[in-house]
Structure 1
Amino acid sequence: MPDMLESYAAWRQRREGDPFRVRIPGLGAVLFTATQEGAREVFRAPVELLEPPRPNPIEPMVGAASLILARGEQHRRERALLAPAFHRNRISVYGNTIREATRAELSGDRTGIPWLPGTRIDARAAGRALTLRVILAAVFGIDDAERRAEYTAVTTEFLESFGTTLFLLPPLRRNIFGLSGWERFSAARDRLDGLIDAEVARRRVDGGGDDLLALLLSARYEDGGVITALDLREQLRTLLVAGHETTATALVWALYRLHREPATLDRLLDELASAGSDPDPLSLMQLPYLDAVCQETLRLHPPVPIVLRRLTGDFTLRGVPLVAGDTMGISVQLLHTDPAVWPQPRRFRPERFLERRYSPFEFAPFGGGHRRCVGATLADYELRIVLATVLTGVRLRLAPHFTRFGAPLSVPHTIAVGPRAAIRFDVQP
């Protein structure tokens, strides 16, 4: 079931054709496209003409220095610095970390609530806990129970304090004698920044580690300079926010879709069984049906459903002239359900990814062009290993309510869009 934003965008597209305009609070009228031709024009637009739109609703969370919001030469320099840490060869070393963190979550090692038969699991809460544990291990190398508990509590408070109201209504971001939601969020952000700064200071003195923080501390700009403390803090905060919520959302949707399609689930379980009882995590990346399931999940439920670019000069999108200051975008949800590309577009059918390859202008769950998500490889790797570990570790049944009705509506959850209602599963014997 499409969410309200997608439904409205689809209505505008039917009314106006492609491209079409949608008014977004704080940004004004945005010219959207949802065809592969339009996506090609946006992603191939000259780099010097594009920048992130401002004001940006996620800036209070990730910071102005975040790679997501950096522009021009700053974006090029920061991306060149960060990209080696997310190279496929480097990411592969985190396979065992991801798998062990997932197994520990299933055993109840973090929460004290193991996934045992008879337990009802809130997939959204569990997915967030699980992926947070993974990202803390991958970014900071945290495996000590006490430190992990501290980081988990502070990070969770930070993420939950920036609710939909603060996300959508910037005028509410103000102080009211210590009583406002904005002040609670600011205090939670300060606590998280304190943890990050202390960890960075310790590492600068002690060195060591094979996690992402260690790589970033050793990285150098082209001129030999090192990343500043402020920029490093905001890049690390971005990794916690983006790497946590997006993967958690994708995991929830994958489990939901699989357990509504028993034949699809059985085929995936057969493939996982063929890989052996304890396969090397890297080998999971070679399983074609697991890959297809994850791709199909991201097609129907892209965690970030729109791509936005603000123009710094004149440009023409699909024949419509734009000028500096205008904003254009791609509706990723509509792009991924274009019937000209995707037969039976609303159906969960992973086989389509085994039958043909799709261009980056047809399938773009991580954006595209020079601003494609730098952490896409880590996200892909994590989703596949976590999903495989959960499915081989426990047997789940979707709570009856979710088998009788359509998919829950999607709403903003910090940086990503996910199900509004908690999706629950019962652990089976």
Structure 2
Amino acid sequence: MGVRTQGRGEDAHSVLRQPRLVPLHALAAGVDFERYFRWRRAREGDPFVVRFPGFGSGLFTGTPEGAREMFRAPVESLEPPRPNPVEPLVGDASLILTSGQRHRRDRALLAPAFHGARIREYAQLIRESTVHEMSGGSNGSAWTPGTRIDARAAARAITLRVILEAVFGVDSRERRAEYTAVVAEFLDAYTGPLMLVPTLRRGLFDRLPWDRFVRARDRLDALILADIARRTTHSEPRTGDILGLLLTARYEDGGTMPESDLCDQLRTLLVAGHETTATSLVWALFHLHREPESLAALRAELRTAGSTATAAELARLPYLDAVCQETLRLHPTVPIVVRRLTEPFTFRGIELAAGDTIGLAVPLLHSAPQTWTHPQRFQPDRFADRRYTPFEYAPFGGGHRRCVGAGLADYELRIALATILSLVQLRLTPRFARGRAPLSVPHNIATGPRRAITFEVA
């Protein structure tokens, strides 16, 4: 991963100045990612070079014009960079990391599982999972007045329950508890240093953090492979969940996805499909409870919809949609989009070579002054007033590699948020009710609040 430009005249070298003291830059980015990117752009303009220890450098932009160039680049000219921070989590065969013909074939196989009609079948599951958690699902403590809620833990429990049933058809308490424990161990074992410093991904006599992570990954894969085996030996495998659909799906040549590749895809769906949506739900609750007018407007819309509204009907409410979109603008699911060039390419007027890396800083795109007024404020009404192009608003990435599960994530966020606000009154604990919002930091496959955000049931 790197940048080796020939430039756009004499000023190319000043624009593409390589940062010195790379460890300090890495530390600054790790402490406050968004602030670091804003500082770099303010200091050096757009585009600018960012160096990642162990991964090399990339040429980054945060403008709609840059997003357009990246998302409209020829498919064959871009691929995911390797090594990749999430590679140990999702596996070599994951749709996130494959490219070329393999990516097209696998995406075509996976995409039907996330079509709109199929996603809408999960509406009641999402509502039931939310109600279950509020009734004391994960820790036995119901959301009654005076109860303190760890929003991150609760949101993860809701979204993990949804993804386990949607993907694997897991509907028994014992099996769900087994998956929950193993997934938690797997995600906790993949620490920030392992993500950001590839040289640490080595074992030593089964004693290092990498050894712990590999053990946790093996345990998760054993569960996934056991589910695959049970389905393939059954005379009539279930097709109501995503695993059942994938087991019956065929490539154009009639072949099926190899078991090892299927395991990587399912692990990706399991990890990405709950962690990212859980984080978005936490941020939505946080911002709403810091903006009384927005919260009141959404509650009024939910009251108008009435207690008999179905989960699918709630998901179509316009102000709820605006709240969720604004949450994803401030806290995009995919904060950085990075691609490696497979051939020479001109990006933001700069000639790059094959092997160079380009990137889009989505938080910068979502705060571009030519698009957004008062971009640091939580203002859902901005989405009621106009529609934004995919080059102005890209919370799930863009182009041919846009997140295949974006529709499900968005749908789940709306229903879970509407269900919570319809059933309880919350208030932020004093630590979070005032002052600066918690920093958003990298965590596994997503970014999220540095510390757990807590609420009290009113």
Shorter-chain TM-score tier: over 0.9
Of the structure 1 ranges 38-47 and 102-111, higher mean CA displacement relative to structure 2 is found in 102-111
* 1:278/1:155 CA distance change after superposition, 3 Å: farther
Shift of 1:165: 1.5
In 2, Cα distance between equivalents of 1:404 and 1:100? 32
Given candidates 120, 139, 142, the residue that maps to 2:167 is 139
Give, as a single letter, the amino acid of the residue that structure 1 aligns with 2:394: A
Please state if 1:293 is matched with 2:292: no
Partner of 1:378: 408
Residue identity opposite 2:306 in structure 1: G
> Would you say 1:414 and 2:444 are equivalent positions?
yes
- 2:215 equivalent in structure 1: 187
**2-structure distance, mates of 1:136, 1:113:** 22
Paired residues for 1:29-428 under 5 Å:
29-206=57-234, 207-428=237-458
2:45 is matched with 17
Q: CA deviation at 1:96?
A: 0.8
- Partner deviation per Cα, 1:294-314 (whole Å, 9 max, x = no partner): 000000011321100000110
Distance 2:191 2:36 in 1: 23
Q: Report the 3-state secondary structure (helix = DSSP H, G, I; strand = E; otherwise coil) of the residue aligned with 2:42.
A: helix
What is the distance in 2 between the residues matched to 1:208 and 1:333? 41
Partner residue, 2:34: 6
Measure, in 2, the Cα distance between the counterparts of 1:69 and 1:109. Answer: 35
Question: 2:272 & 2:35 partners in 1: Cα distance?
Answer: 25
AA matched with 1:198: A
Q: Is the 8 A contact 2:54 2:199 kept in 1?
A: no
CA distance in structure 2 between the partners assigned to 1:302 and 1:274 by the alignment: 29
Contact 1:141 1:209 in 2 (8 A): no
RMSD of aligned residue pairs (Cα, Å):
1.2
**Rounded Cα–Cα distance in structure 2 between residues aligned with 1:125 and 1:146:** 19
Q: Distance in 1 between matches of 2:33 and 2:130?
A: 33
Residue 395 of structure 1: CA displacement?
Answer: 1.3
Give the distance between the partners of 1:319 and 1:114, measured in 2 at CA: 57
Q: Secondary structure at the match of 2:121?
A: helix
8 Å contact 2:186–2:217 — kept in the other structure? yes
CA contact (8 A) 1:243 1:375 kept: yes
Matches of 1:231 and 1:407, distance apart in 2: 40
Contact kept? 2:194, 2:201, Cα under 8 Å: yes
Residue 111 and residue 278 in structure 1: after superposition, are their counterparts in 2 closer, same or farther (change >3 A)?
farther
After TM superposition, give the deviation of residue 72 of structure 1 in Å.
0.9
SS of residue paired to 1:367? coil
Judge which range, 280-289 or 312-321, deviates more.
Answer: 280-289
Distance change >3 Å, CA 113–CA 209, structure 1 → 2 = farther
TM normalised by structure 2 equals: 0.92
Bigger drift between 267-276 and 372-381 goes to 267-276
State the alpha-carbon separation in 1 of the partners of residues 313 and 158 from structure 2: 21
The 2-side partners of 1:180 and 1:365 are apart by: 35
Separation of aligned partners in 1, 2:285 and 2:36? 27
In 1, distance between residues paired with 2:254 and 2:138? 41
| Letter aligned with residue 391 of structure 2 | F
Q: Decide which moves more: 102-111 or 152-161.
A: 102-111
Cα distance between partner residues in 1 of 2:38 and 2:190: 29
For 1:403 and 1:148, locate their aligned partners in 2 and report how far apart those are by CA, in whole Å: 34
Aligned partners of 1:278 and 1:257: how far apart in 2? 27
Bigger shift: 396-405 or 355-364?
Answer: 396-405
User: Are the equivalent residues in 1 in contact too, given 2:138–2:154 (CA < 8 A)?
Assistant: no
Question: Residues 223-277 of structure 1: CA distance to partner in whole angstroms, max 9, x if unpaired?
Answer: 1111110111000000011111100110010000000001100110111111120
Percent of residue pairs identical: 65
C-alpha distance in 1, partners of 2:448/2:165? 24
What SS class does the counterpart of residue 339 from structure 2 fall into? strand
Worse-matched range after superposition: 108-117 or 85-94: 108-117
1:275-296 alpha-carbon deviations (Å, 9 max, x no partner): 1203222212220000000000
- On the 8 A contact 1:293/1:350 being kept in 2, the answer is yes
Moved more, 370-379 or 278-287: 278-287
Report if aligned partners of 1:305, 1:417 keep a CA contact under 8 Å in 2.
Answer: yes
The residue matched to 2:289 in structure 1 has which SS?
helix
Residue 31 of structure 1 deviates from its aligned partner by 0.6
SS in structure 2 at match of 1:260: coil
> Shift of residue 212 of structure 1?
0.9
Q: Post-superposition shift, 1:133?
A: 1.1
The one-letter amino acid paired with 2:51 is R
SS at match of 2:185: helix
In the alignment, structure 1 segments of 5+ residues that lack a partner are none
What is the aligned partner in structure 1 of residue 20 from structure 2? none
CA distance in 1, matches of 2:347, 2:52: 18
